[in-house]
Amino acid sequence: MRQSIFRYATPALATGCLIMIVLIATNRELPGVITSIFQTANLQSFKILFISIILEAFPFILLGVLFSSLLQVFVTDEMIRKFTPRNRIAGVLFGGLLGIVFPLCECGMIPVIRRLIRKGMPSYIGIVYLLAGPIVNPIVYTSTFTAFRTTPQMAYSRMALAFVIAIIVGLLFAKFLKSSPLRGDHHQLQTNNAAHNTLHTPFQMISGQTKETPTGKIRGRASATLGHASDEFFEMGKYLIFGAFLTAVIQTAIDRSTLVHFADQPMFSYIFMMIFAFILSICSTSDAFIAASFSGIFQQGPLLAFLVFGPMIDFKNTLMLLSTFRIKIVLILIALTAILTFAGALLMEVLL
């Protein structure tokens, strides 16, 4: 059923995007009944939000698929296994700190994680990197510290809480996950890794097992890199466009004045800000400025929940997660992240 939805939704969405681009280029409104449904101001906001989400996320997806393709062509399975800690605790800590070296946005994380797991990295390390990487990195720390200059503890708290949540989730997956989390593969992780070793042999031939000249090797690797990048970019891009479309619709329909009513309810304000972060789907490099704009309405705890949960789990990357991981794994990941974020934000507000 899911495949059928995306099979027919993608062409329909592409047609809608084409119409939207024409309307933006000509600066004209939708005619007839559609115009009566959407007010001009809302329609203009929708167009701005949709385009801004796409423009914000596409460079990071492009960076992610290029990095993923370079891993596929130039990094062997043996290299991944060599640098990956075998101890579970050390591996989880390694995944939590990997974002410092490779600071990717959540938009570009998923293709990289999928490639690393298929290359032989234990899946729980990839999941830890998926959760911590978009937050525990120098770029996001700098943007958060800049947005909350008067309350710098928000930046420290965000890094610490995100790291702790990712570590706890990673330890749970390391303990209980026995099979590959990737879609279409229900075998044991060892069988999965062995199968992918066999699938990667053409690239091992490119890397030196053939009698190609050095120029031929370079061309072969460049061609393979661009081929993988192109395939993954279009595969991930359709989910991003679909998620950006729905996200822009939801953002346009929400009245900002209603936020004050939710802020008056202490416990529910945490849940609301987590749902709000899920819906907004803002990149982790810029969401701190959005959160700072609500400082006069919400307490630090709900704002912290917004800053932590959004980069880990949002609407557009949930669609991409469903395209990569099994549905059960995605649901468990969302539930664990939501519960830990809620509890951690409550605790951090008390400590702050």
Q: What is the pLDDT of residues 120-133, one digit of tens each?
A: 889 999 999 999 98
Task: Give domain status of residue 197, yes or no.
Answer: yes
CA trace torsion 166, 169, 175, 176 (10° rounding):
-140
Comparing 5-9, 140-144, 197-201, which segment has the lowest mean pLDDT? 197-201
pLDDT digits (tens, 9 = 90+) for 62-71: 776 777 677 6
Cβ-contact 114, 123 below 8 angstroms: no
* Residues sharing a CB contact under 8 Å with residue 301, sequence separation 6 or more, in sequence order: 269, 270, 345, 346, 348, 349, 352
Task: Give domain status of residue 218, yes or no.
Answer: yes
Q: Sign of the CA dihedral 71, 77, 78, 84?
A: positive
By residue range, what is the domain housing residue 155?
38-248
Task: Give domain status of residue 232, yes or no.
Answer: yes
Count of residues in the chain: 352
Q: How confident is the model at residue 205 (pLDDT cuts 50, 70, 90)?
A: very low
Number of domains in the chain: 1
- Between 59 and 177, the higher pLDDT residue: 177
Task: Give domain status of residue 312, yes or no.
Answer: no
Task: Give domain status of residue 210, yes or no.
Answer: yes
What is the structure's pLDDT at 271? Answer: 92
What is the structure's pLDDT at 289? Answer: 81
Task: Give domain status of residue 139, yes or no.
Answer: yes
Task: Give domain status of residue 293, yes or no.
Answer: no
Q: Cα Rg for the chain, rounded, in angstroms?
A: 21
Amino acid at 127: I
Comparing 61-75, 142-156, 165-179, which segment has the lowest mean pLDDT? 61-75
Task: Give domain status of residue 307, yes or no.
Answer: no
- Between 152 and 209, the higher pLDDT residue: 152
Q: How far apart are CA 248 and CA 266, in angstroms?
A: 28
pLDDT digits (tens, 9 = 90+) for 227-273: 777 776 776 677 667 767 776 776 677 666 766 777 778 788 999 89
Residue 203 has pLDDT above 70, yes or no: no
Residue 343 has pLDDT above 90, yes or no: yes
Q: How far apart are CA 301 and CA 153, in angstroms?
A: 12
